[in-house]
Amino acid sequence: MQNLERYERQLRIEGWRQDKLAESTVMVIGVGAIGCEVAKNLTLMGVGRLIIVDNDVVEVSNLSRQMLFTDDDVGRPKTVAAKEKLVKMNPLVIVDQYYSDVRELSEDLFRKAEVVCSCLDNWPVRRWVNSMCIELDKPLVDVAMEGLYSNLQVVIPGKTACLECHGEDLIPREIQLAECTLRRRKPEDLKKDLEEQKIHVSLDLVERLFEVGIKTIFDIKYSQAQILDKLDEDVRIKVREIQESLKPKMPALQSVAATIAGIATTEIVKILHGESLGRILNGLLVYDGYSTRFTKVKLMRKIECFACGEHVKTEGAEISVSLDDRVIDLKKKIAESFGFPDPEILYKKWRLQDDQTLREVGIKDGDITYVETSRRFTPLPLKLILKTS
């Protein structure tokens, strides 16, 4: 009776099934401005279990737009502070929190969720989450914002376009270029790149960054808290200073976060209801706060997509090579073709070495290799087509 009284107003909606919500689990990745709103909405509505994931801590600058946090939470893990607020809002909801990089969580945790909601602010992890959801056949609701603009895309694996289907158009050009840059680099390369940005650092500092996988300017701009935690305090402070120079804080507004998060939550609820509350968004929804305009962009699923396409599941993606190509040459082609900055190539029982030629490896026309990358949950099957001339 208490449950019905709590949800009495939403029970009046035609087609509403509170039991479907109560039996469901939703994973929210990223507890920033949008993630806080989505988690709050789902909690108030009475979703059965909520899994929240974030690897960052609360900062003072978060307080103007991340409504689950107060001054007392500054310095605390976002997921820990968020869980405390959410269970107070609705003690009937089970909230599991993970203060972690989402890529380090077990596959079983993802399997528990009926829907995954990505509220991330960086494309590398968004691409990985997209891959995971496709692999496990989990609906993905991807939400992002910048200033007075925001966007929302729903990915139903096998039915709608995924994030990679139109990545060449939707992923910002700067990020595309960075993703296509193979990370087979030397510390001197990063030092030179920084100097071109009028940032002068010692080679010793750059070498220490390389030790934790920070090898490009893009890596510095988007380094997450857990990576920086591996550095000594003096190096971490210096990286923060470089970040401020390279990446001015992205403009953000609470009202825009609340607007797009409200729509995203509605789509999640519709998915959980099996469309009895209406048709699920198919395409990209863009909100322009300056002109108070919503624009729906039609996105067709690409059958040849290397993430969700039918061909890649059965035959693998294809790439043209020469037997005289070295493995490092193949990796560069992969970086340029698929935007994987860190490919590793598996062939039969071997992990191929950069200085080997494909002839030495014993590659034959049509052979299947597998590409490991931090941008995918599972290796990409890649068929090698030998050039005839």
Averaged pLDDT of the chain? 91
DSSP state of 120: -
Query: Is the pLDDT score of 180 beyond 80?
Result: no
pLDDT band per the 50, 70, 90 thresholds, residue 184: low
- Identify the CA nearest to 146 among candidates 222, 260, 249, 251: 251
pTM of the full structure: 0.86
Over residues 280-294, mean pLDDT = 96
pLDDT of residue 1: 40
2-170+251-297 CATH, one of 1.10.3720.10, 3.40.50.720, 2.40.50.140, 3.30.230.10: 3.40.50.720
Question: To which H or E segment does residue 223 belong?
Answer: none
Question: To which H or E segment does residue 41 belong?
Answer: helix 33-45
Taking CA atoms, 352 is separated from 133, 323, 345, in Å, by 28, 14, 6
pLDDT of residue 312: 77
More confident residue, 233 or 153: 153
Least confident span in 71-85, 196-210, 320-334: 196-210
Tokens read off for 138: 């989990």
| DSSP SS3 for 357 | strand
Taking CA atoms, 111 is separated from 25, 35, 114, 136, in Å, by 10, 20, 8, 7
- Identify the CA nearest to 215 among candidates 266, 164, 181, 245: 181
Residues sharing a CB contact under 8 Å with residue 1, sequence separation 6 or more, in sequence order = none
pLDDT of residue 214: 81
315-386 CATH, one of 3.40.50.880, 3.30.1330.40, 3.10.290.20, 3.40.50.300: 3.10.290.20
- Identify the CA nearest to 223 among candidates 125, 352, 301: 125
pLDDT of residue 225: 64
Instruction: List strand residue ranges (DSSP E) for 90-236, in order.
Output: 94-99, 115-118, 140-146, 149-155
User: Angle at Cα 340 formed by Cα 335 and Cα 345, nearest 5°?
Assistant: 80
- DSSP characters for 247-302? SPPPP--HHHHHHHHHHHHHHHHHHHTTTTTSPPP-SEEEEETTTTEEEEEP-PPP
Which amino acid is located at 55 in the chain?
N
Residues sharing a CB contact under 8 Å with residue 171, sequence separation 6 or more, in sequence order = 123, 179, 339
- Identify the CA nearest to 358 among candidates 318, 331, 389: 331
- Identify the CA nearest to 213 among candidates 193, 244, 190: 190
Report helix, strand and coil shares of the chain as percent, to nearest 5: 40, 20, 40
Which amino acid is located at 44 in the chain?
L
CB atoms within 10 A of CB 375: 24
Query: Is the pLDDT score of 47 beyond 70?
Result: yes
Query: Is the pLDDT score of 248 beyond 70?
Result: no
Tokens read off for 3: 């449950």
Q: Rounded to an integer, what is the distance from CA 200 to the centroid of its chain?
A: 31
